[in-house]
Amino acid sequence: MKDKIIVTGGCGYIGSHTVIELLESDFEVVILDDLSNSSEATISRIKKITGISPIFIEIDLKDARATHKVFSDHKDAKGVIHFAAYKAVGESVQEPIKYYKNNLFSLLNTLEAQVYNGIENFIFSSSATVYGMPNTLPITENNKTQRPFSTYGNTKKIAEEILEDYTRSNKVFSVISLRYFNPIGAHSSGEIGELPNGIPNNLMPYITQTAAGIREKLMVYGNDYPTKDGTPIRDYIHVVDLAKAHVLAVKRLLNKEQEMALEIFNLGTGVGYSVMDVIKTFETVTGVKLNYEVTSRRDGDVPELYASINLAKEKLGWSAKKALDDMINSSWIWEQNFQNETNVISKSLSGSDSLK
């Protein structure tokens, strides 16, 4: 019998890529998602890629009663991967209560429901944002966490603190928290990828949307940082590499290989690229010239952030395989596929084809 894993937020960007890797590693998957920032169409795309249709339940995890019901229906699950959360940094600063309520109530209801139903393993989708402004590079998991600039970031930090308390009080409960650096890229099939709601906050979707003509110009937020070309440096990681790390984390929990009740791993490549590196590589890889302009710094941006990846390598046996070219190329293929599809749909809705 296959081991069943519950994936909250499984229709989202990182969630959907992880579901594919789980299915391809012979796990059974139950997706819980409220579709607030994703689409049910992802389920059929996952089926197209893997040949398997995961169980899908539309649910708002803020609803404690509904969450308990779903977990009691799937109490045979061996573990939970919790992606479900709001993630727009700018919006989180404007609407902090919305973010605290959604990201933390969902977490608490999930934890309560799973433990009540005897499901002992939990993987948390965390972020390098919990390191705030780091003093030393590369960042190891022992670097002190700091209060992140954004409410979104603070929900990740608070969540990790909740998990720390929870594992201390509940001896059978095991947690792995994965701190992502900058996930970009898309599945090689071109069927799934990042789909930001409205104007993208993050660099990669902004670049691909500018190249596709949806945005007029990319704004480069500052070129006066103390870096090689003045633009900030980040550790970009392919979403498929990231997804594979989740499968290894699940196996570590299921095989009881954990050394502590709460383990934390950085997920990055260990290599930093500047904003200008990304722009230039995009132009080289795709042959598309980007319209961009340097403007002032964005509040809360740190000059340089890249991971020490030794711990994930040693304990999970994981390291990133895909290079920046592949991350950028797959993002671009996904963007073009998505725009083509959207055009076909809007054309057929407006009936323009039949007017010919």
- Distance of closest approach, residue 128 Cβ to ligand UD1, in angstroms: 7
Q: Between residue 44 and residue 83, which ones bind ligand UD1 under the rule CB under 6 A?
A: none
Specify the stretch interacting with ligand UD1 by CB under 6 A; choose among 55-63, 115-123, 160-168, 213-221.
213-221
Catalytic member of 131, 152, 166, 180: 152
Active site residue 225: no
Amino acid letter, 103: N
Q: Which stretch binds ligand UD1 (CB under 6 A): 63-71, 202-210, 280-288, 327-335?
A: 202-210
For residues 242 and 184, the answer to whether their CB atoms sit within 8 Å is: no
Q: Is 202 in the site for ligand UD1 (CB under 6 A)?
A: yes
Through-space distance between the first and last CA atoms of the chain, rounded to whole angstroms: 55
DSSP 307: B
Among 39, 235, 42, residue whose Cα is nearest residue 127 = 235
For ligand UD1, which stretch binds (CB under 6 A), given 56-64, 114-122, 197-205, 242-250?
A: 197-205
- Residues 152/102, Cβ–Cβ less than 8 Å: no
- Dihedral sign of CA atoms 270, 275, 279, 280 in order: negative
Among 187, 234, 252, 322, binds ligand UD1 (CB under 6 A): 234
| Beta strands 121-127 and 79-82, pairing class | parallel
Q: Pattern of binders to ligand UD1 over 100-129, x per CB under 6 A? A: ---------------------------x-x
| Shortest spacing between CB 327 and ligand UD1, in angstroms | 12
CB atoms within 10 A of CB 44: 12
Give the separation between CA 304 and CA 347, rounded to whole angstroms. Answer: 44
Q: Provide the binding-site residues for ligand UD1, judged by CB under 6 A.
A: 89, 127, 129, 149-150, 152-153, 182, 201-203, 206, 218-221, 232, 234, 275, 298, 300-301
